[in-house]
Amino acid sequence: MREQDQDWTPSRVVGEIKIRGGNLRALSRASGLQADTLRNALYRHCPKYERIISDYLQVPAEKIWPSRYQPKAKIEIN
């Protein structure tokens, strides 16, 4: 599997936020959320929270979590 097809690890997401001078708790509060709310996006599909993180990082959410944005396979029943 190619690297661009893999989700970023939670530690990479947090690290990228830190590189840009922020932290997840402050980003949550700045978005009007409880301090630990955005942590949910690190472990489960939460489009609203993913978008807040991706906007801050200026990286599309689809690139950070590609597995969450892949089209669902259609199953045909004969």
Q: List pLDDT tens digits, range 3-14.
A: 568 999 999 999
Q: What is the pTM of this model?
A: 0.85
Asked if residue 1 has pLDDT above 60, the reply is no
Contacts 24+ apart (CB under 8 A), 65-69: 65/7, 65/8, 66/4, 66/5, 66/6, 66/7, 67/6, 67/7, 68/7
Please report whether residue 77 resides in a domain.
Answer: no
Residue-range definition of the domain harbouring residue 55: 3-68
pLDDT band at 70 (very low <50, low <70, confident <90, very high): confident
Give the mean pLDDT of 49-54: 98
Amino acid at 51: R
Please report whether residue 74 resides in a domain.
Answer: no
CATH code for position 63: 1.10.260.40
Please report whether residue 78 resides in a domain.
Answer: no
CB neighbours of 22 closer than 8 A, spacing ≥ 6? 56
Please tell me the total count of domains within the chain. Answer: 1
Arithmetic mean of pLDDT over the chain:
92
Asked if residue 74 has pLDDT above 70, the reply is no
